[in-house]
Structure 1
Amino acid sequence: MNLTLLSKIKIILAVICLCCQFFLSGAKNASDYLKEEHQILDSYYQQVKIQSQRGQYPVFRGRKIIEHSVYATLENMQKKYFAGELVLSHFILKEFIKYSHLGGVGIGGILASEVENKKAKIFYLKFDGRYLSDLEFLGIGSELYAYCVLPDFNHCILLGIGEDWK
């Protein structure tokens, strides 16, 4: 069978298209990972909240972890004890504040537990610039989990988006 050059090119292009479609269909994004990890994240969050309420703080990479709503109820003197430690936030993304190549991504959110409260207080978190595309993809209204360094809620990492956090 003698194929013309044009026929050979068409076959090669078809194979390339099939390969690309195969690889793209298998690619996961942050939303896919969050859906898969939702039960684990929620269970983990609930356990950290219970332990925080009891004063039995879990530790991640040598730092104590306190749940966000528990931290918010502490008096200023008690909050000083947690400087340099981690806060675990379960929140709803409400707004993007800014993006800077040098400063990262600033966002505003409300605690997920306060989503029904019309007077829920917006708080702000600062993420490294590498999270910009994930945060934009997930979008306003997304339910997210993050670790942040206290007391400024900076140096945050998103949990459950396909990065190793366990």
Structure 2
Amino acid sequence: MPFDNLMILFAFILVVGGTLGLILLRRSKGELTIECEPGPFSPQQPVSGRLRVKAKRQIRGNRLKINLHCIKRARRSQGDRVREFKETLYRQELLLDEGGNYEPADERSYDFMFRLSEENLQPVRGSRHSLKAWAELIQPGEDARLSWELVARLDASGADLVTRKDIEIQLP
């Protein structure tokens, strides 16, 4: 086997092994669970729920936060290939805990609530779209969709704990 092929094989094994190691490290520390109705929600209706943290080992946490994201996913043809593009149109963040230690078998829960309104549904910095234009973001015949998700993250020493939950929000 030529040297170049061995290097490619070694790099592949290193990437796969590192990814599996990170997944196992995260799962061995504990888990986050988002409890929330899937929707559909309207912009006048709060998106609320509870985030549960369950520690399996001691976790030194820095910050616990939850985000609400709106993402536009579009598929476009480029020559003979089809590529998927993602653009974050909206992001709102809540800080649930400044930090602290979670002992083994510790279970804590944090209530959260996002209030959606015309005033706070501003696009993320760098996005060229406003809320009023969101309904027109997907052109007829375009292979695209808007998706909403809750993303919780415990910033911890070693490896962060992360979980996601898709929800449905119906815009006017």
Query: Which structure has more helix as a fraction of its residues?
Result: 1
Which fold has the larger relative contact order, with Cα–Cα distance below 8 Å and residues 6 or more apart in sequence?
A: 2
Q: Same fold (TM over 0.5)?
A: no
TM-score by length of 1: 0.27
* Structure with the higher fraction of residues in strand conformation: 2
Greater C-alpha Rg? 1
